[in-house]
Amino acid sequence: MTSGTGVNPTEAMSEAQEAEALAEAMVFLGTDFEAAIEGLVGAVSEHVTGGLDDYELDTMTHIRRVAENGINLAQNVQGADLAIADTDSENADEYQEGLEALDIQINF
C-alpha cells in the first residue's frame, strides 16, 4: 500500500489475499512438523521418544498459536479492506448527491 493518505482497495485486497495465503501456509506447518516428528521417532531409540513427544506437544502449541494469529490477521486485513471500500462507496454517493444538488454535471 502507499504511504500517502487514503487506501487503494485493490492493493489492500491483494495484501489481504497474501495474508490469507500465509495463514494457510502456517496451518500446514503443523502437519509438516508432525510428519517430521514421526520420521524422527522411527529413527531414534525408545529412550529419546519421550522427549520427542514432549517437544512435539510444546511446539504444536506454538504452531497452533502462530496459525491462529495468522488467520486472525488475514481476517482483520480483509475486514478492513471491505470497510474501506464501503466507506469509499458511501462517500462517492454523498459527493454525487452534493453535485446533483448544486446541478453540477461531471462525466466520470
What is the maximum alpha-carbon separation in the chain?
85
Task: Give alpha helix (H) positions in the chain.
Answer: 9-43, 46-101
Q: How confident is the model at residue 60 (pLDDT cuts 50, 70, 90)?
A: very high
Q: Which domains does the chain have, with CATH numbers?
A: 9-101 (1.10.287)
Q: Please state, in angstroms and rounded to a whole number, the distance separating the CA atoms of residues 93 and 31.
A: 48
pLDDT at 42: 85
Where residue 107 falls among pLDDT bands split at 50, 70, 90?
low
How open is the CA angle 56-59-72, to the nearest 5 degrees?
A: 135
